Amino acid sequence: MKLHLTKALRCLSWSAILLASANITGIYAEQLTIERIYSSPSLNGKTPKSLKFSPDGSRVTYLQGKKDDLNRYDLWEYNLVSKENKLLVDSQALFNGTEVLSNEEKARRERQRIYGFGIMEYKFSHDGSALLFPLNGDIYYYHLATKKAKRLTQTDAFETDVKFSPQGHFVSFIREQNIYALNINTGKETQLTKDGGKNNIKNGMSEFVAQEEMGRMTGYWWSGDEKHIAFLRVDETPVQTVIRNEIYAEKIELIEQRYPATGTNNVEITLAVTDIKGKKINIIDTGDNKDIYIPRVKWLPDSNNLSYQWQSRDQKTLILKSYNLKKRKQQILLTESSTNWINLHKDLIFLKDNKSFIWASERDGYKHLYHFTNQGELINQLTKGDWIVDQIQHIDEKNSLVYFTGRADTPLERHLYSVPLHGKSPEHVARLSKRNGFHSINFSQDGQRYIDSFSNIITPKQVSLHDINGEHITWLAENKVTDMHPINPYYNALIQPKFGSLTANDGETELFYKLYKPKNMVPGKKYPVVVNVYGGPHAQRVKNIWQGADFTQYMLQQGYIIFQLDNRGSNYRGTAFEFPIYEKLGQVEVEDQITGVKYLHSLPFVDKDRIGIYGHSYGGYMALMSMFKAGDYFKAGVSGAPVTDWHLYDTHYTERYLNHPAANASGYEQSSVFPYISGLNGPLMVYHGMADDNVLFTNTTKLIKAMQDENKQFELMTYPGSKHSMRGKKVKVHLNNTIMNFFNRHFK
């Protein structure tokens, strides 16, 4: 089953699609402004977040911003019986004051990329009769039948990482670095760990690199029978303390942070199990080597066996182990190894029969699914081919089917597929999603229905309900572009990109790109180009997904061509596409972006003397490397929040790609921007948030000094109080105007 997306989209006529839509009134389109992009109501229409089925399957719940404040979220439902969307819980009815968060929770939300106010997280009880909301550092219990909220905690401390126990009898949370369990019926609290908050100990919490780089936001896990909680005890003592400035408009805060910069010590981590009474803690032996990571922990269905993933410091070895509580013995279930690195995933599912599990592996060069016995013996490979599985969505044990999202049709789209558990034909999978584009899937607990959050390059996000065979049942949020849709005044002016591919300079690798051209181009006229880049690992920019009326569309409106290319090292193409960056960042990525610019040079409407580059984070790093190393191709650049010296970044991310500094000193030197500063010949602007706790502001101050020493002229814009994500309408509006003004001054 192969569908080349480039060919598929060439068959589409943007103007024909617009004219064919009976819901678009007229052909006039308003001029988009940067101010409007970040104002309410959202131009993307209704875009519900955190979609979930209730445990009984009677409703689908989601978070939605208020009409007058898209950043304040309430909990809504689509009732499957009454077939209507309605407000379920108003966040202001729970708490109507100004929310105050602990520093731990602020950092946790920054790692989760949770931005907003009101209800930002919610949890269903086991039977679906109640909900939990963490708000303003306390816990609110909401009973759906009575529609009454009860505040479970009222302390000066902050409660975080709130969970229902699997059967709904307890609520657990972290308070002052310790784990607590609260009996819902009696209201009695039990403190399960005691040494948290002392001598740099944190219990049940995820360390910095686990949150930022491993996607693990918790440090404790309930057993299914509610008798035990497995948890991680984190000792931060070995990690160096750095004093980081957070510069705000009217103050400077000196933050002491234990930051594990690459090559330095990580936390010491201990895996343990406590009973629910907190009287007995059992330490699990993870080996003599303490310089390790534990990225994943998961109970088996029998509640007697606990699995955990042991990862070596160099990330070239990943071992899946199981531990038996009664026998206090453990066994190795499987081992993954690589000469480069092992990509972590969350695709480990233990089947309810207590006999086998499904596991994802890149052992054949692409992420695929494998079926193992609980003793670690391979039963069969379930999927196979030159494409990757995204994520397991549901396993139907009764009918022996595995449902997953993946890229079997094209790497530029994500679809829902199924495959039999017998593994007889791993090359052949059945596609359930109908429409070309990007699908995000949530299954009901009984596996009979699923929610499909869908969009493509011409369709804003739509949320629909489907039965197990993929048939459409109803819309949950059709989000149709009618004359009442917020994007309607701008819809006719939206520009569809051309998708295509180029061959990298190795003569073999296919590189996908998107090319946006302004409307009403004048024949014979040459136009400036901005290459919008990210270019780093675990990311993809070129895909058939809704972009909407964004900054790209604004720049097109100003007469710029916009170009995006996914270089080697980026995601969803297999290990052969990712691994060329190992131990040498900023080389093959820049080479591939140059391949893209050479293609632009071949286009008669491109002014090759006005090709700029712009990116944020890794994209900011790429903008610097491109300007410094390839000034003949990139004539002006904007670099946002860039890493400039990889010694300043954290252990887990940096060592994954560059190895340990002691083992690859020359690679670190060549991967930093500083050896190449003398190559800067064109105009450059750098911007950075002055409270960034991810890519530290030190990266930019070090760059400033180095460029001053080289007598290189540049522009600088700093944002007091801004973190790495540059949140807030005022910041976004000013930043985008600053970028636009920069390119206008140098290219217009």
Catalytic positions are 617, 692, 724
Measured torsion, CA atoms of residues 619, 315, 286, 649, in degrees rounded to the nearest 10: -30
Identity of the amino acid at 209:
V
DSSP, collapsed to helix, strand or coil, labels residue 18 as helix
CB 344 within 8 A of CB 315: no
Residue type, 675: P
The answer to whether 283 touches 238, Cβ cutoff 8 Å, is no
CA distances from 392 to 316, 350, 382, 402, 604 (A): 24, 12, 12, 7, 46
Structure tokens given for 345: 């995933």
- What's the Rg (C-alpha) of the chain? 26
**What is d(CA 94, CA 375) in angstroms, rounded to the nearest whole number?**
48
CB count in 10 Å sphere of residue 622: 29
What is the spatial order of strands in the sheet that 498-503 belongs to?
A: 498-503, 510-516, 561-565, 527-532, 606-616, 636-640, 684-689, 715-719
No. of H helices and E strands in the chain?
15, 44
Residues whose CB falls within 8 Å of the CB of residue 438, separated by 6 or more in sequence, listed in order: 413, 414, 454, 455, 456, 543, 544, 545, 546
Nearest-angstrom CA–CA distance, 273 and 328: 11
**Closest by CA position to 456, among listed 404, 389, 410, 394:** 410
Helix then strand then coil, in percent of the chain rounded to 5, is: 20, 35, 45
Quickly list DSSP for 367-416: -EEEEEETTS-EEEE---SSS-EEEEEEEETTTTEEEEEE-SS-TT-BEE
Contact 416, 429 (CB under 8 A): no
Q: What angle do CA 667, 669, 674 make, to 5 degrees?
A: 140
CA atoms of 123 and 140, how far apart (whole Å): 11
**Backbone dihedral angles phi then psi of residue 344, each to the nearest 5 degrees:** -75, 155
Residue 389: CB partners within 8 Å, gap ≥ 6? 347, 360, 367, 368, 369, 383, 404, 405, 406
Instruction: Give 518's Cβ-side CA count (13 Å radius).
Output: 20
- Any residues with CB less than 8 A from the CB of 521 and at least 6 apart, and which? 527, 605
CA distances from 530 to 555, 602, 622 (A): 9, 16, 14
User: Are 202 and 178 in contact, with CB atoms under 8 Å apart?
Assistant: no
Name the residue among 410, 348, 351 with its Cα closest to residue 572: 410
The packing angle between helices 588-601 and 618-629, to 10°, is 70
What is the Cα–Cα distance from 366 to 388, expressed in whole angstroms?
Answer: 5
Cα–Cα nearest to 53, from 445, 476, 441, 454: 445
Q: How far apart are CA 720 and CA 692, in angstroms?
A: 10
Beta partners for residue 244, in sequence order: 255
Q: Give the CA distances from residue 425 to residues 36, 112, 316, 383, in Å, rounded to whole numbers and listed in that order.
A: 51, 38, 30, 8
Element (H, E) at 244: strand 241-247
List Cβ neighbours of 614 (8 Å cut-off, separation of 6 or more): 530, 531, 532, 533, 623, 637, 638, 640, 739, 743
